[in-house]
Amino acid sequence: MSDPTIEQARAAADAAAAEANRLQAEAQAALTRAQEAAAAATQAVEAAKAQAASLQAPPAPASPSGPPQVGPLSAEQVDAVRRGYAFEGPALELGALINGTPQPDVQVRVPLGMLNRHGLVAGATGTGKTRTLQALAEQLSAAGVPVFAADIKGDLSGVAAPGVANPKLTARTAGIGQDWSPESFPVEFFSLGGAGTGVPIRATVSGFGPLLLAKVLGLNETQASSLALVFHYAEDHGLALADLEDLRAVLQWLSGDEGKADLAGLGGISGATIGVILRELVGFADAGADGFFGEPEIDTREFLRTAPDGRGIVSLLEVPGVADRPALYSTFLMWLLADLFNDLPEVGDPEKPKLVFFFDEAHLLFADASKDFLDQVIRTVRLIRSKGVGIVFVTQTPKDVPGEVLGQLGSRVQHQLRAFTPDDAKALRATVQTYPRSGYDLEQVLTGLGIGEAVVTVMNENGAPTPVAWTRLRAPQALMAPMPADAMTAAVAASPLQAKYGTALDRETASELLTAKMNAAAEADKAEKDAAAQAKADAAADKLAAAEARKDAAARKEADRERAAAQREAEHQAAARNRAMQQGVSVVTKVLGNRQTQRMLGDVLGGIFGTRRRGR
């Protein structure tokens, strides 16, 4: 028999279990509904996001693995850039395309073989020109190509020392796919005539030539052509023009009495023009240019050397103080180029350049340039490429470079341009017009570039321009700062070039020859004058002596006459005295005893014999 209490309890338990099951089922149903609602909500958000994105951004990237793109180039345009910079031969790496973010899979380069088609690096101050130059120089050196660059601000000397890593640099280089490690490069430091830390570079005045000299002296066309004739004259007469003193001597000679006839023979140079040139020359020398001219003259082939490990030597002309001598510096660089041009053989289009020459602060070269001078620069730029030399002009805006030169520059790295003033804006528009068509609003891009970014277009291996590419440039691997001064001094002291160029020479040149000539003429003249003066003096002395002699004779005669007269007078007086004595003795006895008489006699007698003299 069952216990009614137990039965009751079981029934209650069953009821409770059934209620619990019901509640669980309800909870499950609620959870499922909640999950479904959440999923729907997520979907709605995604859809909204996608819609929003599709309104702002270009289509999704063509390469699904690449980083997200936000423009300004379309996927096709990015592809065109990628293909446009995929060269077959060796190339220098400039950096990675930026399309919103850096695209490490789209590298921007310049073919090594196209560097002799010249280039331009431009941009406002502080935008990265020098670092671009440095990165190019380093890669050229690594590729066995020697480099020449002027280190205007002294901030390029760090090429000789390894760079220093820092987190910002590493992030930057990793972002553009640059495998960065510190590296130093073989460097030779030069200085203008020894002013600064470097092996002295000098040019002889005749080597420099009248055209460049006229430019540094600021001569006008008439004066410049007169100077050319003076050079000609010096050459014809075997007067070597080594230093400024030599030229000065020739000018002085021509403007002096001895050179008058020669000057007349020079075809219409006026003495006044010579005077002007002379004045300018003196001012120029006094301003400290003396040291840059003279011997030994630098053999510009020194700049074509490679180090024992095959890397190209980076020759740096240290000219930190150039700001006060811009004309000299820029003309000097032009001379180096012209000299290279004269010395080097034709090589056509070599696989890689023999030398790349960076011409920093290039605006200095073109400022106030005469037409003759400009023509020479244009000619040099055009012809030097077939000698395997590439020139890269570095300047603030492309408008600093004359159109005819600009037109010959195959590669362009344009850093940020500023458009603060109406002039800036005009220059910006002019710059934009010189670019090939592209997917960029270049006015906007050029003013919005970050530091170390540039708009690039280069000459491809077929000689055609590559697509315009907004590029984040690679960082140099060497030090991005000046090399420590003591290390630089030590490097210069240890240079093998010191033996050849360290000490200035002073041969017998025009100034010595002309000085000797002038001295000889002056001496002959002096000797002649001296002789004449002597003769005159002798004659005068003879005359004087004769007069003296005459005077002496007369004096002697007079003295004799006086002596004779005195003699006669003395004899006469003696006789008189004698007579008086004779008469006196007879009266003495009469006056003796008279004191007065005695005193008077004493006076008379004393005066006559001189025992007592009367006052005169």
Which is closer to Mg ion, CB of 363 or CB of 382?
363
Q: Supply the minimum distance, in Å, between the C-beta of residue 126 and ligand ATP.
A: 4
Nearest Cα residue to 199 out of 494, 603, 613: 494
Q: Which of residues 128-187 bind Mg ion (CB under 5 A)?
A: 130
For residue 119, the cross-strand partners are: 392, 411
Classify residue 484 by its DSSP letter.
P
Q: Supply the minimum distance, in Å, between the C-beta of residue 333 and Mg ion.
A: 16
Q: Supply the minimum distance, in Å, between the C-beta of residue 141 and ligand ATP.
A: 17
Binding partner of 586, given Mg ion, ligand ATP, none, CB within 5-8 angstroms per partner class = none
Cα(225)–Cα(483) distance, integer angstroms: 44
Helix 205-217 to helix 244-255 angle, to the nearest 10 degrees? 70
Q: Supply the minimum distance, in Å, between the C-beta of residue 44 and Mg ion.
A: 55
Cα(453)–Cα(433) distance, integer angstroms: 20
Q: How many CB atoms lie within 10 A of CB 260?
A: 13
Which is closer to Mg ion, CB of 304 or CB of 333?
333
| Alpha-carbon dihedral sign for residues 485, 487, 488, 489 | positive
Cα(520)–Cα(499) distance, integer angstroms: 36
Binding partner of 473, given ligand ATP, Mg ion, none, CB within 5-8 angstroms per partner class = ligand ATP
Q: Are 228 and 236 in contact (CB under 8 A)?
A: no
Task: Mark residues 102-131: x for contact with Mg ion by CB under 5 A, - for none.
Answer: ----------------------------x-
Q: Are 477 and 183 in contact (CB under 8 A)?
A: yes
Binding partner of 113, given ligand ATP, Mg ion, none, CB within 5-8 angstroms per partner class = none
Q: Supply the minimum distance, in Å, between the C-beta of residue 473 and ligand ATP.
A: 4
Which is closer to ligand ATP, CB of 157 or CB of 206?
157
Which is closer to Mg ion, CB of 103 or CB of 134?
134
List all residues 6 or more positions away from 505 whose beta carbon is below 8 Å from its beta carbon. 294, 295, 296
Which is closer to ligand ATP, CB of 172 or CB of 412?
172
Binding partner of 110, given Mg ion, ligand ATP, none, CB within 5-8 angstroms per partner class = none
Binding partner of 123, given ligand ATP, Mg ion, none, CB within 5-8 angstroms per partner class = ligand ATP
Which is closer to ligand ATP, CB of 120 or CB of 304?
120
Q: Supply the minimum distance, in Å, between the C-beta of residue 153 and Mg ion.
A: 6
Residue 599 CB-half CA count within 13 A:
3
SS3 of 256-274:
CCCCHHHHHCCCCCCHHHH
Binding partner of 475, given ligand ATP, Mg ion, none, CB within 5-8 angstroms per partner class = ligand ATP
- For 390, phi and psi rounded to 5 degrees? -105, 140
The residue number whose beta carbon is nearest to Mg ion equals 130
Site residue total, Mg ion (CB under 5 A):
1
State the residue for tokens 């004899």: 571
Residues at the contact surface with ligand ATP, assessed by CB under 6 A: 123, 125-131, 153, 172, 451-452, 473, 475, 480
Q: Supply the minimum distance, in Å, between the C-beta of residue 172 and ligand ATP.
A: 6
Give counts: helices (H), strands (E), the chain. Answer: 19, 12
Show the tokens assigned to 145.
């190509």
Q: Supply the minimum distance, in Å, between the C-beta of residue 265 and ligand ATP.
A: 51
| b/e burial code for range 138-173 (CB count within 10 A of at least 16 → b) | bbbbebebbbbbbbbebbbbbbbbebeeeeebeebb
Q: Supply the minimum distance, in Å, between the C-beta of residue 358 and ligand ATP.
A: 12
Binding partner of 480, given ligand ATP, Mg ion, none, CB within 5-8 angstroms per partner class = ligand ATP
Which is closer to ligand ATP, CB of 128 or CB of 207?
128
Q: Supply the minimum distance, in Å, between the C-beta of residue 322 and ligand ATP.
A: 13
List all residues 6 or more positions away from 615 whose beta carbon is below 8 Å from its beta carbon. none
Which is closer to Mg ion, CB of 130 or CB of 414?
130
Return the amino acid letter for 448: G
Cα(80)–Cα(57) distance, integer angstroms: 19
Which is closer to ligand ATP, CB of 159 or CB of 480?
480
Cα(57)–Cα(53) distance, integer angstroms: 6
Cα(434)–Cα(409) distance, integer angstroms: 11
Residue 254 CB-half CA count within 13 A:
33
Which is closer to ligand ATP, CB of 95 or CB of 210?
95
Residue 223 sits in the site that holds Mg ion (CB under 5 A): no
Q: Supply the minimum distance, in Å, between the C-beta of residue 451 and ligand ATP.
A: 5
Which is closer to ligand ATP, CB of 129 or CB of 202?
129
Cα(447)–Cα(330) distance, integer angstroms: 29
Residues that bind Mg ion (CB under 5 A): 130
